[in-house]
Structure 1
Amino acid sequence: MEVWGMTVKYGIRAAALATVVVCGLTGCGSESEPLSEKGAEEALLSEKTLPDGWKLRHAPTMEDFAAGENRCRNWSDTKCPGFVATGSTGLEGVDVQASGHGSIAGVTIHAFDTAGNAEAAFKGMTPTHKQRTGLEVRTGADQTTASHSVLVPFPWKHYSSYVDMRVGSTIITVAAQVKQPKDVTDLARYTADHIRKKQSGG
């Protein structure tokens, strides 16, 4: 499993089911201002905006425009028109032990100039989840896909979870290794709300 550039190797025992795609509680549309490159950088989760139960593992980092656009094209299988910026934050749970066991997560945002361009890219990326176990998640985002695989390495059982969301003109990817699915869904819901506020000038 790779979480924000970190490769974590474990034995995997998982079943594959269909991915669940749902609209958020607010519907499938969003009226808000697109994030600029600076706005995207300011929207990254940081020491001041982390949810309870998490701390920074790696500082918020913006990608070079060309590298971010290329990554967008690769994972969405589109030309990513209107791409603005990509940035990521690495997190770890406060439950992480000295041995390294515990929750870790990577939160990445991809900003676009319009909600329509973000929606097109989001549509292109959803097939990547088809080989993972479907996980229904209600995040409050305009669109959500989510999945997880059960991992059972020694000495603890956990979940390799992925949640992709579109909030207006921003796509958010949460990739995490957690002890229970609720841990990643709570993080995803918090992040979606955080990005919505930033797009609304909060």
Structure 2
Amino acid sequence: MKYIRHTLKTLGLFLALTTGLANATPILSFDASEANLVKNVGLGDSFVIDLWISNLGENDDLGGFDIDFVSTSNPGNFNLLDVYLAPGLEEFDLLSLIIDDVSNISGLSFAFDLSAQANQFPLVSFEFEASSFGTTVIEVTDAMLSDAFGLSLGFTAFSATVNVTPPPISASAPGALLSLFAALTVICLRRKQN
């Protein structure tokens, strides 16, 4: 009996240590930055922002996901031109994308072996057009991730801040040349007087 208890304790300790060390914490970020993204665009510019999952460890395969995200601060800064699921999601048997006040992407794979899955890949891409000046934040508000066996995965999520800025003000070429010639004329006249 002591031998069985000792074996079970040793096995439990081994499983607890190897499971804790082998699993990385998946990261949800925009444009594969694995950090908060800041994007500056000009008025009228079109731009794309991708939602990525990364940092999947060797033993962590993404078997399912349900992710809510929302744009806050000034959501009228840009118009949504197009939304498309990223290529490479063929291993997910069920995929859903809902665009609303709170948008959602979800997917589920019935595959038993996801070991060929990449360590990082995009989930969805958004194409926007900057329509007014200001700042908008896009953030993951809620998410559930699971591995190939349906076990919950913890995660870290980062946001994207989009600044729509006015175009830079530049001096007009004729005005700048006129100022330059006026200054040169004054210098030449002063030299003649001396």
> TM-score, normalized by length of structure 1?
0.27
Q: Which has the larger radius of gyration?
A: 2
